[in-house]
Each structure stands twice: as structure tokens, then as C-alpha cells.
Structure 1
């Protein structure tokens, strides 16, 4: 484990893959936005992995917004169904390298699990090392983990609105710069173009080098250029996925006060009552 204990490398996972308390979750998404998707000719997964479906099972079934956090009860049910115990070591990856795995990592973190990590480089890194893959997912007996909401890890539009003029907080937008500036149209139907007033732009792809995160030094320089090192950060994106790439990057460089705006631009841009720039 490395980089402030938020990430694990493929070598570490290969060495520990048969550990009894290890739970490996594939958080890949069918819909990939904001980057050129990696397309596979066949299905591959890491041995012993299970599907962590953040587009349906780990999505709030009562919400009209995409990819919203499930309730504590729904999350607990789904986590236990995947065999997650309170003492499990959870390793999460996706098939794009770094894309949706940080979202699942932040879900488990915000629900109180203390041993959850992202595989740096995901499936591409794993395959690039020549490690074996499987053709189907694994399954485990029901787990005992019970989720609980950790305060100030996920917020709504009201909290973001209040943060706009709060000098102790910075709103970070992980979308591409063309979407942030309003030069590119939004993929979500009915959404306005632009950004939340006074927010800064750290595109999630700027934090990556190939399939993996950049070095902590390079990440820190990016945040420093945006004067975001000493503030509490509220992170947003299109629908709450790639904002978590930024949250994990901030964790790597020891920024502690981190919050996900779950509705992100799909909510903010679609609500004419909320201000934009």
C-alpha cells in the first residue's frame, strides 16, 4: 500500500490476492464520460473479484438524479451481499485505469469502512503486469458490515450554495475545462452550460499519468496552482463520479476536509434557481 494508504499497486494485490479477509470489487461502469473509453474485445476481471454495480445496486433507487448515493440501509444490504465484513480489506478497481473506482472507494469511506483502497491503474495495470484474469465474477457469503453516514463527506446543493461565499471552503469542478467554461455542451439533457460561481477547475484527467495517478509531488503542484491546498474542498463533476478522482488525489496529498457534492452538475445545471457562471 502506498500514497497515503489510499492506493495499492498491482504487485501488492497479486501478492495478497488469496488473503482471507480481502474483498476485491470491480466498480467498472458501462457508461464512460469525460474520457476516451477503453473498449475490451472480451470480458476480463481480476480473480476473486465481484461486481460492485454503482450504476444500479449502489445507486439511490429513489432518486431522479444519476449515480446518487444509496441510503444507509440500501448500502448496507448491497455491501453485505458482496461479503463485506467490518474487518475486510476492500480493494476496488475499474477497467478504465482510474475512473469509477474512486467513486466506490468514497462510498465505502463515507459509509464508515476504514480499510478500503483503490488499485492504482486498475485492470489495465493488472493486465499490463501479465497477471492472470478471470472470465466471471466470484461470490462470497453474506458479510456483516453495517454502514453509517460519516458527517460532511457528502453534501447537497444547499451546502454548496452556502459554500460559495465561505472563504474557508473551495468548490472544485472535475469536468473538462471546455465544460467548465461553458464552451462545450453538456451530455445531460436539459442541463445548462457553465459552472458553480467561484468554483475552480481541476479536470480529473490532469491528475493522471496514463492509467495511474501522478506522483504526490505533481498532484500537490496542481492543487497549489489553484490555491486549494489549505481549504476544505467540496468536489463536483458531471454526476458525482470523477469528482471522487479529485477527492482521492486530495487524500494522497494529505488534504483532510473533503466532501462530495453528490448531485454535481447534473443537478446544479438542471435547476434554474441555482446560480451559474
Structure 2
């Protein structure tokens, strides 16, 4: 699989491409790492804004960051003028945080030329590159009719029945990327009504382990491969990634792809769903 990442150097050389759509997918609520706080809006010039919390989440279904319905993807495409052949570069204002989530959404709906800006806005700024104080206004000139056939890759997103079946079969390795203390129930969950612990037979690999020491970029492919090998993951392993609400699990999912693994999927409901349902088994 092609690398999901592009560098700030690459973006700086290609900002004038007519088929390039640069999209800011930053979120307001950052959990699991110390957030970078901004006093005012700072953007990369030429970028649009798409909200993960609203435009790329199914707000009509109970849950947090529920995977969007096809109609929502079509509406975003219409808003920006995207087609499945468009080149899309996603970034966020934390370096690497919410952009992997948006990347997996677009990939799961068949957008092949979609990439993550490694280091995002913080790296772009640290290099002294030009910034702006607003986003582009969408042109409303749609290249994708809302009736065009888009559909989700059903293997990309797992549900509670899939996880229950996997507890019995053990076909896939379930990797929980929350902090170790949360995984073992030694720290309280940040969301009310959610039990402590983890999905039976899952393993823990906190998502910060795949990021550089400053938390802004992914580690190199070689370092990521070594990390996964140190967990005794086989080269043909099948993974289901989980976290608190389906956000940071995508960081680990992307890291696995960079490391050379291809059979990856996301448990979208993650612990916010599993931990809130008293009928589901847990381990500490």
C-alpha cells in the first residue's frame, strides 16, 4: 500500500497543483496527549476546513465520532468539489492527532489519493513557512453529483458483533492504544458512565509510542516496523485497532500501514461504546 504520509517539503512544492485539496481537520477536544493551544486561528494557506465532529461524524446515531454515512461524505465532496480521483492532503493543528481519523474515513469510502501531512500545522510553522488566519470558502462548484455511487468498505470498520466473534476466534489481534493505566483499569475513564478495563484478549500499545519524541510526526518506517516486531506481531497479522472513541486508534492504524502491514481495521465504537455497555465482557 502506498504511504499515507506526505512531508511539509512535498506540500510546499505542490501547493499550486490544480487537483490538490488541502483540508484542515483539526478538532477542539484533544484527549490522550498534551494539546497545543492556539490564541487565534492559524492555518496553512489554501486550506479548507472540514469538521470531524459534525461533517465527518454520524450525529444522528448515539455514540462519539460515529463513522459518517455515505450521504455525509457526498455532501462534503459537493461542498469542496471533490471526486474520488482528487488529491487530498489532510492536516491538523496538533501535528498528528485527528488527521489519521479523517484519512481512514476517506480511504474507507474509496478516495485513493488521500494523504496525511506528517507534522501538520506545528511542523509547517516551525519551519518558518507562510501561514494564514482563515480557511478558503468552498466554491460550491460540485464535481461529484450526490447521486454518484460511493460506498464504504465494510471490512474497514468493525462493530461489537465483530469484536465478540473475534474474542472466540482470535483471528485478528485487537490493539488498544489508550494509555497503559486506562487499559488496566488503574486510571479512571474521562467519560462518565464508562467502565474501566479493556476488551478481553486485546493487547495494549499506546499511540504515543508510534510518534516522535515531540509527538508531532510519525517515527520512521524502520522504527515503526521494529516496534511492531517487538510486540511479536507477524508480518501477515490482521489487526483491529481500538482506543477511547475511535480517534487515536487511527494513529496506530496508519503507523501499522507505514510499517508495512495491510490487513488493518478500526473498531469505531472503541472503549466509549464497549465500556458503557454492562452486557459486554471486560478484563482488567
TM over 0.5: yes
- Greater Cα offset, 8-17 or 132-141: 132-141
Task: Kindly provide the CA deviation profile for residues 53-98 of structure 1, in whole angstroms up to 9, marking residues without a partner as x.
Answer: 0011111022110111111112211232122122210000100000
What is the TM-score normalised by the length of structure 2?
0.93
Matched, 1:267 2:273: yes
* Unaligned runs of at least 5 residues, structure 1: none
Give the secondary-structure state (helix, strand or coil) at the position aligned to 2:208: helix
Tell me if structure 2 keeps the 8 A contact 1:81–1:143: no
Q: Distance in 1 between matches of 2:205 and 2:93?
A: 23
Give the secondary-structure state (helix, strand or coil) at the position aligned to 2:169: coil
Tell me if structure 1 keeps the 8 A contact 2:225–2:260: no
Aligned counterpart, 1:233: 239
- Greater Cα offset, 97-106 or 144-153: 144-153
* Unaligned runs of at least 5 residues, structure 2: none
Q: Distance in 1 between matches of 2:233 and 2:260?
A: 12
Task: Kindly provide the CA deviation profile for residues 222-267 of structure 1, in whole angstroms up to 9, marking residues without a partner as x.
Answer: 2122222332100110000000001100110121111111100000
- Per-residue deviation, 1:20: 0.3
Query: Of 186, 190, 194, which residue of structure 1 is paired with 2:189?
Result: 186
Aligned counterpart, 1:28: 26
Q: Distance in 1 between matches of 2:280 and 2:259?
A: 32
- Per-residue deviation, 1:157: 0.8
Aligned counterpart, 2:144: 144
Query: Of 33, 41, 51, which residue of structure 1 is paired with 2:49?
Result: 51
Shift in CA distance, 228/52, structure 1 to aligned 2, threshold 3 Å: farther
Tell me if structure 2 keeps the 8 A contact 1:43–1:135: yes
- Per-residue deviation, 1:42: 1.8
Aligned length: 275
Q: Distance in 2 between matches of 1:184 and 1:78?
A: 38
CA RMSD across the alignment: 1.4
Q: Distance in 1 between matches of 2:282 and 2:273?
A: 12
The equivalences for 1:38-77 within 5 A come to: 38-77=36-75
Q: Distance in 2 between matches of 1:81 and 1:191?
A: 36
Tell me if structure 2 keeps the 8 A contact 1:164–1:171: no
Matched, 1:220 2:225: yes
Tell me if structure 2 keeps the 8 A contact 1:23–1:83: no
The equivalences for 1:1-277 within 5 A come to: 4-138=2-136, 139-140=138-139, 141-144=141-144, 146=148, 147-209=150-212, 210=214, 211-229=216-234, 230-277=236-283
Give the secondary-structure state (helix, strand or coil) at the position aligned to 1:248: helix
- Per-residue deviation, 1:4: 4.3
Give the secondary-structure state (helix, strand or coil) at the position aligned to 1:212: coil
Give the secondary-structure state (helix, strand or coil) at the position aligned to 1:228: coil
